[in-house]
Homo-oligomer: A and B are copies of this chain.
Amino acid sequence: MQVTTVTMDDVQYPYRLGTDCLDDIVTRLGELGASRYLVVSDPTVAELYGQRLCEELAALAGPAELITHPSGERNKGLPTLHDLAEEALRRGADRQSIVVALGGGVTGNIAGLLAALLFRGIRLVHVPTTVVAMLDSVLSLKQAVNAGVGKNLVGTFYQPVEVLADTAMLRTLPVREIRSGMCEVVKNSLAIRPSMIDQLSAGLRPDGRYPDDTMRWIIYESLAAKAQVTAYDKYERGEGLVLEYGHTVGHAVEHSSQGAVPHGAAVGLGMIAAARVSHRSGWASAELVELHRELVGKTGVALHIPSDVSLSAVRHRLAFDNKRGYLPVDAASYPMVLLESPGKVLRSEGTVLTAAPRDLVDSVVDELARAPRPGGRSADAAVLDGAR
């Protein structure tokens, strides 16, 4: 496995990446040494990789317990955390145990918070099994769960001691998960690292089938993008907030769809919404909007909000967005990350946030809810033609 060091302020941890390297993962976990390995995953991942990982850990490294939680964002809450904590303690967790978060973003978050809170903090190792987890979740110190009024409102900052990733695990992912994950890559390219746009655009595959070497390139580029903005901002409250690009509308859509629109796909929609808001406000060109549609489209995700998602629910969620408080805005605006051009973020009052008029955001959300006519041209393309 190849090692990259993740650095955020005073926090550092190794990220080991390989392909077909489950044995190496087991060996490395054994080297870390634990009184007990608490392998946390959802039932699907438990069956695919969890049981084998635990068996190999038990044979090579020490007692290993497979602890499962129900799948999905709607189960990522304090009640699930409570069940996991009780189960881990019943199975003998102590201060020298290691929590192994084996899964996607939901598992990473909830197992991360579990590690942060058991005995006021025990070691955490991420073994991400999804694209989003490999290139986004495990590069954040945020460990949070959802509340009734919004996503990720309850949590803390906690660092893993290590990340161990095997791209072979991505082969069993449903294609919608791969497509969704690629939207986060598109986010990194548009908001932070425009140097990767051309190669990414050429490599994106709507069918979601990526060669291993492309996948590793994408992960390394994402590590570099993340490093650019969080190297001096481990709490993601300053420059790191740019990682929230597309997340204002994205979170609202994801949450309102009750999981029907996966995280990355929702962020893809959120980025298109952000680009439109920026363009309509006169801050960005129509080309920027079209570039968003092109890249997000090439990931293979849908370019509109499904018709069964309630738009009033989306608007309600927008009002509870967790960026409230970073930038004082009046009730007629939302604080959003907006771009002027690829890699160039609009700033106000020293932040990477801009007050976006609420009416404009709402109308852009309405547009995203209308499916484009098959074979028809997008409104943005028409605008683009007009601008030429």
Using a CB–CB cutoff of 8 Å, the interface residues on chain A facing chain B are 35, 77-79, 81-82, 85-86, 89-90, 94-96, 116-121, 142, 144, 147-150, 153-157, 235, 320, 322, 324-326
Contact = CB atoms under 8 A, between A and B. Distances in A.
Residue among A35, A79, A85, A96 with the most chain B CB within 10 A? A85
A89 B325 contact: no
A127 to B, nearest CB: 23
Contact of A148 (B86, B96, B153): B86
Quick one: copies of this chain in the complex? 2
12 contacts: A77-B82, A78-B79, A86-B147, A89-B149, A89-B153, A94-B324, A95-B325, A95-B326, A96-B325, A119-B153, A120-B142, A120-B157
A153 to B, nearest CB: 6
Contacts of A81: 78
B148 A89 contact: yes
The 6 closest A-B pairs by CB, nearest first: A95-B325, A78-B82, A117-B154, A89-B149, A94-B325, A89-B147
Contacts of A325: 35, 94-96, 119
Contacts of A142: 120
A320 B88 CA distance: 13
Contact of A155 (B79, B117, B149, B324): B117
A154 B122 CA distance: 11
A322 B118 CA distance: 10
Nearest to A155: B120
